[in-house]
Structure 1
Amino acid sequence: MVRMLPKSRVLSILALGLGCILLGVGFVLPRLVDADRPVPLDLGDTQLTVSDPEATIGKAYLATAGEKDPDVITGPVSRNVAVTLGDPSDSDEAAATVGVTTMRDDMAESMGDQAGLLDAEIWTMSVDRYSGEATGDVKVADTLGTPAGEATVDGQWLKFPENTEQTGYPFFDTLLRRAVPTSFDRSEEIDGHEVYVFRQEMDAEPVMEGNPHHMRLTQNVTTEGKDGGPGKSTVSTLHRSGTREITVEPSSGMIVSVREDLHDYYAAEGGAETGLLLDLHGETPEEDRGALLSQAVEVGEDRPVRTWSLVCVVIGAIVTVAAGVVTLRPQRKGRKE
């Protein structure tokens, strides 16, 4: 007759197999599951705003301005970058639609968004969900009634890489249509969380080089001639000077606020300023910064892969040793009849 194994021996063999499985999972898990989290597709706060309650707005933005109207006016202006992530997507990349608008807030409130709109662009691209860099084809629609055109986004723009370092990163400027270097300026503490601040400096940067089709690229300037008659007419081109400070939560690399001190102006061939487009000195409102920081901290939290791995290894080792002892222990012989 075939002798049946005792129930305790069967259970110990099953436990031995389970222990080996737990050991294998514990050792392999860090290689199969990345501890870093990609940027979620369903972010709650997806808009970054820079507001200046007293921006100086040039005549090129004043569609109804006449010759006798002032060359500049003062009013509240906000610049908004709104990001939508969606399909096609995978664990590494996602499709992104980015709306960039410059609004004259007082007119938007009284007459609607369309009346207060100074500039608008819609960008479409794929982005790396870890580094934030654009991948694949990039298109931008920046003129009403015209199809989107090909474009390039280099450097960082929507976010910085995970585990951002205290070093310089090129940061994309939408007006210049190219990345401008930044330098690490300082670290700060906001609501108990450390953030990094990067500073970008621009000095008389010509818009024509990277954005030759900008709808407000040029401005005609006519000097007064002798005896009050018409003088010489020249063409000035758009330039940008100023600084930008980008505040980043380093674990996630997500941008939580921006400070801009930008002077967009027209300059003649020799570099002399001939007119103003926009002079903006604004920053992200504090309440928006708090919400973006809380979200960034949550995204930056690593998956507890190492903890899970250690737990599996420890439990697996205990179960394997205990089950092995029981399984290999000699069986007692039964009494002979």
Structure 2
Amino acid sequence: MRKILGPVLLGLGGFLLIAGLLGLVWAPGVVEKTPIQVETITMLEGQAGKLDTSTGDLVDNPIFAISDTRTDTELSDDDAVAWLSTSCVMIDRGGDRVCDEDSEDLITASVDIFATDRVTALADNETLDLPADAVPHDGLVNKWPFGAEQETYPYWDGTVGQAVDAAYDRTESIEGTETYVYRVEIDEAPIEVAEGVPGTYTTVKEIFVEPQTGAILNQTEDQQRYLADGTPALDLQLAFTDEQVAQGVDDNAGDRQLLTLVTTVLPIVGFVGGAICLVAGLLLLRGRSRTTTHSRKQDLVGAGR
């Protein structure tokens, strides 16, 4: 039995050590990358006061927002991933929640084409051949990097058309999942409130990021837009719906389990299990060698009699 078991344990130990080494050195570079096939629809809801031009007053209504973000798999490559994001904010009249650009209930609508680095999650304007009308982006756009830190990151704000500071503010649990909360504050930035209509933009955003994966699990926004003369044009509050948060937490749990399995469990099992198997295999072979030597001595003593 030792004749067979010893070499088997040595082989298994070598295999486990190699697996542990791959999990420690090679696997993170493979699994800690943004996939090139992603399709997500994010639902938000809240309240908004919109300027009624006939009266000059803000009319308050419940609202919903839909963001449909998906990758262009064919355009993406090993280093960067291309994205198409369409979004709208609509007054909620209680019917189906869909974007309708022809409806009087439309508050804002946008289409965004961009690319990000698959490792850092930062905008990448050079690697891929994006359409000519794609607006150059800067900073983080739709996720944080894997292994997010408690620091300030540049974050793209499409309303002002540039990256702004997203500063780490606190750690907060969402349905049992630890998140880092990053805070964006913009005060009276000059924008076009509508086409050809100048004004200012003020907002406070809080972005709840699961640090291991960099996934955004919730986002809140308190935004105001004013005409150049100071007349309020929009007063908006938005956040992920409860259902969206629950779904995001559930999906993220599976992603974190996979990352932990590959980058933590595999190296531990590989190195510890491999070392145990190698030691056991060597002891078995050593014991077999001693038994064989002893047997040969006995044979020689018996032959000399």
TM class, shorter-length: 0.7 to 0.9
TM-score, length of structure 2 as denominator length: 0.76
After the TM superposition, which of the residue ranges 17-26 and 257-266 deviates more from structure 2? 17-26
Say whether 1:95 aligns with 2:95: no
Number of matched pairs: 287
Point out the more displaced range, 195-204 or 119-128: 119-128
How far apart in 2 are the matches of 1:12 and 1:106? Answer: 74
Match of 1:153 in 2: 137
Alpha-carbon spacing, 1:248–1:320, altered in 2? closer, same or farther (3 Å)? same
Among residues 64, 79, 92, which one is paired with 1:78 in the alignment?
Answer: 64
Unpaired stretches in structure 2, ≥5 consecutive residues: none
- Following superposition, the deviation at residue 315 of structure 1 comes to 4.5
In the superposition, relative to structure 1, how do residues 92 and 11 fare at CA in structure 2: closer, same or farther (>3 Å)? same
Q: Is 1:50 aligned to residue 44 of structure 2?
A: yes
Partner of 1:177: 161
* % identical equivalent positions: 24
1:165 to 118, 126, 149: 149
Deviation at 1:56, TM superposition (A): 1.2
Match for residue 25 of structure 2 among 11, 26, 31: 31
Distance 2:98 2:181 in 1: 37
Letter in 1 for 2:213: S
User: Compared with structure 1, are the counterparts of its residues 161 and 10 closer, same or farther at alpha carbon in structure 2 (3 Å cutoff)?
Assistant: closer
Distance 2:165 2:107 in 1: 27
**Out of 212, 231, 235, which is 1:251 matched to?**
212
Match for 1:84: what amino acid? R
CA distance in 1, matches of 2:160, 2:23: 45
Root-mean-square deviation (CA, aligned residues, Å) is 3.6
Counterpart amino acid of 1:106? R
Is the partner of 2:28 in helix, strand or coil?
coil
- Picking from 177, 180, 191, the partner of 1:193 is 177
Corresponding residue number in structure 2 for 1:314: 275
Three-state SS of the structure 2 residue aligned to 1:290 is helix
Deviation at 1:176, TM superposition (A): 1.0
Is contact 1:166–1:196 with CA below 8 Å preserved after alignment?
yes
Letter in 2 for 1:101: C
- CA drift of 1:90 comes to 5.6
Give me the whole-angstrom Cα distance separating, in 2, the residues matched to 1:163 and 1:73.
43
Q: How far apart are residue 16 of structure 1 and its match?
A: 4.4
Is 1:260 aligned to 2:221, yes or no?
yes
Q: Which has the larger radius of gyration?
A: 1
- Counterpart of 1:128? 117
Unaligned runs of 5+ in 1: 1-6, 60-64, 142-146, 209-213, 220-236
Higher share of residues assigned helix: 2
Query: 1:289: how far off?
Result: 1.3
Distance 2:69 2:215 in 1: 12
- The 10-residue stretch of structure 1 (9-18 or 90-99) with the greater mean CA deviation from structure 2: 9-18
Provide the rounded CA distance (Å) in 1 between the counterparts of 2:139 and 2:151: 14
State the alpha-carbon separation in 2 of the partners of residues 94 and 264 from structure 1: 33
